[in-house]
Copies of this chain bind each other. A is one copy, B any other.
């Protein structure tokens, strides 16, 4: 029998991010995360495979949602606008900027192994989005270019949002960054 712990996952996530920020990622153990959250290690491992997973657990569901979104986007939209609209819609799950998003970005930025992991996840995301665009009949290189450009916009927008202090939603920052990409790409 396992006891039901209210919001155990969220408590573990916050405890992990606080400890990674205070002591460094490498110096933090799962036992310490569980203790800070007032939970057991066993509960931790019911939610996360390891301490790195706390930082990347969201990337799988995000990718699935984006791939589905691209498949379901209305016909007649240009590929870059399919990608932009899909990222904006997915951004709604992030809600208001949380302390957690900022902590997560800082922890990943401070650790080379985590930065590499992030790059690998983003490259896999770009490949999956390019596949989803090809499924819609978008030819290459347009499919790859729209996917890579969309992921670059998302990466930059997420960093600005997570590190920012004002009230903009992630959706708004993505919208602004996509508009900026269009201006930048138009060139002279």
Contact = CB atoms under 8 A, between A and B. Distances in A.
Contacts of A185: 80, 149, 181-182, 185-186
A84 to B, nearest CB: 8
Interface stretch (A13-21, A24-32, A37-45, A140-148): A140-148
A22 interface: no
Nearest to A120: B116
Interface of A: 76-81, 84, 115-116, 119-120, 123, 141-142, 144-146, 148-149, 152-153, 155-156, 160, 177, 180-188
B152 A149 contact: yes
Nearest to A76: B188
B148 A180 contact: no
Contact of A78 (B116, B120, B149, B188): B188
Given A116-B116, A119-B123, A120-B119, A145 B180 contact: yes
Contacts of A181: 145, 149, 185
